[in-house]
Structure 1
């Protein structure tokens, strides 16, 4: 299927062509027609499936059609997209700007950690589409800079992360300020009971779209686990980074303090690394991400919450310095490599206390993660049932088929290989 078959208007099709994007991903193919019909939507999709475009494109089209119907237009915010992190909010705004470049609609992103002055100036000039994090949104509502009485489209993105980050009460407060009559689009990678209950309370007879189950990992990702004592993890990381094949590595820790400590250890070994987590200022986080994307910094060390929504072209390696205690998080982490038709590699360090986490991960993804035994810091006791072993770490294999452009913005790079025009 091509985008031309989804009843999209020419200005949006032209914008998509400008972005080099011609073929919808599965969630886009399913969700766009539903949203264009005006129905509420429950979308279960993990990062990398193209869900940002799945809601941005139809919302833009519906807003554009309203604009040119000749009906009296309300002057307030017409679409509200609520998202948990600043980085994800910025990427969503970039997506709306890219796909709506020919529509004359105004979009604005607001988030905390920076001065609100520029944001309030933009709000005074009028905004059609507002992308926001919960805290800053409520702050500006309280200060009377924002009113939500004219909102016709409400998108709640990454609902499960809202819960993880403790934002769920803020989200519920925002919902009480929205008009009763609106179209609601609800996206979550997982559906814990509280999120399922929230979805049921705000969605009106929704259509459900579910793609790429959270338990799956991309076939393009080569996974491997290293059993290592906790105190030797920093030595193993430095050892692995001596390999020039690791051109860029996103390293995950469970805590902010742990991320900072890993960066300090790498600096001592002469490796360019930066940390990104909630204690960093917004400017510091954006600078670190920019340096990593440009290649100036080889290693970016991140916590799960700070990394949500980060999308980096051609990321060769993800390294789990510490295994996550939630198995679904493992899938989210390693899904940041192996996109756009290229292969990627995911290394995981597992100490004695983390073996239970590894068992849970393997149970979720339904495949054993191969063990690398040939390394200088191998742990004496590596017993864990049903795990194959490999002598050497995986070798990076590049996609055979030429370069493929990534879809700018949003979270759709896993399917970026679909951008090439089909030959029928």
Structure 2
């Protein structure tokens, strides 16, 4: 099937061709005719299937057809509600691309930036409004937005909207919409809460489901690496170097974790940037632009910030941390293998994440192959030896060689930096000859907090296999 067979008008066909599209994806082929018939639609499709075009293209055509018929209703005619600013921007870019040969005006509004430019765009007049819930309600309360003339309403990424706690905001928006409208509802997963929300919004909808719920794309090759938590950063560097990955999206469970990954990569000489909720809007967009332009090799993201990331020909996704919600795994790896291209999804799993992996296997209904051939393989979930360090003398007894900041004769500058700070944090401690970890010895301190010595035989303590014990 080609786009010409979908009864699209010439300006849209011209724009689609300019974007390099030849054939509609399955969800586009099923959804576009239904939307053009002005039916409500319930779409269940995983990320990366082309659903933005599935609703943007027919909405643009409907608006153009109404304009040609002399329909001159003022105000916002279409509202597209989406959970994140990145996704809102992406949808705005798609609307602009598909409608560039048409007289349809659109605007994108989201929080985290000044509202001035957004308000000015609204005052100039808007046909299609793409918005996140918080900023939309804010501008509605200020009197800048009136939804009484909405004819098409799109709720995109409904499952993520609920995950982020926007359900009450969505209901507030729904209360302001006219009852007579066309509604389109899209979600990658369909748990009971989403089904109930869809039932409250849609009227006799056409249902489109292009893949089983929470399935992963066949174009993505998946693999699991068992690794101790402390060795994940070393495994990441190993994979970047071993496979010569040109560009990769790395997922972290937390914002702090994303920053730490970037810091470790920068120390190793790998250009990396983070994108998460604590970053300013300008910083996030610049980081994404650098990644798209291949100026940044590694983009580290949290789940919420990454939902709107759409990068052409992204070959690799790495789950540095496995998500604790199995459906999130599907969203993450859907960033690669898009539009029929092949991709690879590599996931790190430490001992504490085995339960998450089990849940992921249940949701995707298959087991992910385990890769054992790597230097940090940890089948039992136990933290194993970190990356080998250069030896300075051979054994533990040679630690007091003038370079050990914990020893009395060590580097004075580094020892001085610890003065008054108590016991240094143990980041692994000295290693045994077999490579296994031993607890770091507690240094004795004088009244100034300085280390007295690395052996400390007169401090009333002795070492045993179970740790330090008092001798008195």
TM-score normalised per structure 2: 0.79
- Whether contact under 8 Å (1:214, 1:328) holds in the other structure is no
Distance in 1, matches of 2:70 and 2:218, equals: 50
Deviations 1:248-293, CA, capped at 9 Å, x for gaps: 1111111111111111111121111111111111001001101111
Q: How far 1:212 moved relative to its partner?
A: 1.9
Kindly report which structure 2 residues correspond to 1:240-279, keeping only aligned pairs within 5 A, or say none: 240-243=239-242, 245-279=244-278
Kindly report which structure 2 residues correspond to 1:82-161, keeping only aligned pairs within 5 A, or say none: 82-161=81-160
Instruction: Answer with 278-287 or 329-338: which moved more.
Output: 329-338
Kindly report which structure 2 residues correspond to 1:204-215, keeping only aligned pairs within 5 A, or say none: 204-215=203-214
Match of 2:172 in 1: 173
Match of 2:24 in 1: 24
Match of 2:293 in 1: 294
- Whether contact under 8 Å (1:83, 1:134) holds in the other structure is yes
Distance in 2, matches of 1:176 and 1:342, equals: 41
Give the count of matched residue pairs.
Answer: 382
Q: Point out the structure with max Rg over C-alpha.
A: 2
Q: How far 1:191 moved relative to its partner?
A: 1.7
- Whether contact under 8 Å (2:273, 2:299) holds in the other structure is yes
For residue 348 of structure 1, give the secondary structure of its aligned residue in structure 2.
Answer: strand
Match of 1:353 in 2: 352
Distance in 2, matches of 1:333 and 1:77, equals: 33
For residue 338 of structure 2, give the secondary structure of its aligned residue in structure 1.
Answer: coil
Distance in 1, matches of 2:213 and 2:115, equals: 36
Distance in 1, matches of 2:317 and 2:45, equals: 21
Q: How far 1:382 moved relative to its partner?
A: 6.1
- Whether contact under 8 Å (1:47, 1:309) holds in the other structure is no
Distance in 2, matches of 1:380 and 1:158, equals: 36
Kindly report which structure 2 residues correspond to 1:356-367, keeping only aligned pairs within 5 A, or say none: 356-367=355-366
Kindly report which structure 2 residues correspond to 1:227-242, keeping only aligned pairs within 5 A, or say none: 227-242=226-241
Distance in 1, matches of 2:103 and 2:130, equals: 17
Q: How far 1:50 moved relative to its partner?
A: 0.8
**Structure 1 pair 230–152 and aligned structure 2 pair: CA distance change class (3 A):** same
Distance in 1, matches of 2:170 and 2:151, equals: 17
Distance in 2, matches of 1:348 and 1:312, equals: 20
Matched, 1:5 2:5: yes
Q: How far 1:380 moved relative to its partner?
A: 4.7
**Structure 1 pair 58–199 and aligned structure 2 pair: CA distance change class (3 A):** same
Match of 1:47 in 2: 47
Matched, 1:33 2:26: no
- Whether contact under 8 Å (1:214, 1:331) holds in the other structure is no
For residue 8 of structure 2, give the secondary structure of its aligned residue in structure 1.
Answer: coil
For residue 130 of structure 2, give the secondary structure of its aligned residue in structure 1.
Answer: strand
* RMSD (CA atoms): 1.4
Segments of structure 2 that go 5 or more residues without pairing to the other structure are 383-472
Q: How far 1:244 moved relative to its partner?
A: 5.3
Q: How far 1:239 moved relative to its partner?
A: 1.8
Q: How far 1:220 moved relative to its partner?
A: 2.5
Match of 1:408 in 2: none
For residue 372 of structure 1, give the secondary structure of its aligned residue in structure 2.
Answer: coil
**Structure 1 pair 382–257 and aligned structure 2 pair: CA distance change class (3 A):** closer
Distance in 2, matches of 1:225 and 1:138, equals: 42
- Whether contact under 8 Å (2:188, 2:214) holds in the other structure is no
TM-score normalised per structure 1: 0.87
Match of 1:381 in 2: 380
- Whether contact under 8 Å (1:250, 1:301) holds in the other structure is yes
Distance in 2, matches of 1:371 and 1:88, equals: 33
Distance in 2, matches of 1:76 and 1:380, equals: 61
For residue 84 of structure 1, give the secondary structure of its aligned residue in structure 2.
Answer: coil
Match of 1:75 in 2: 74
Segments of structure 1 that go 5 or more residues without pairing to the other structure are 384-424
Matched, 1:322 2:321: yes
- Whether contact under 8 Å (2:50, 2:339) holds in the other structure is no
- Whether contact under 8 Å (1:311, 1:336) holds in the other structure is yes
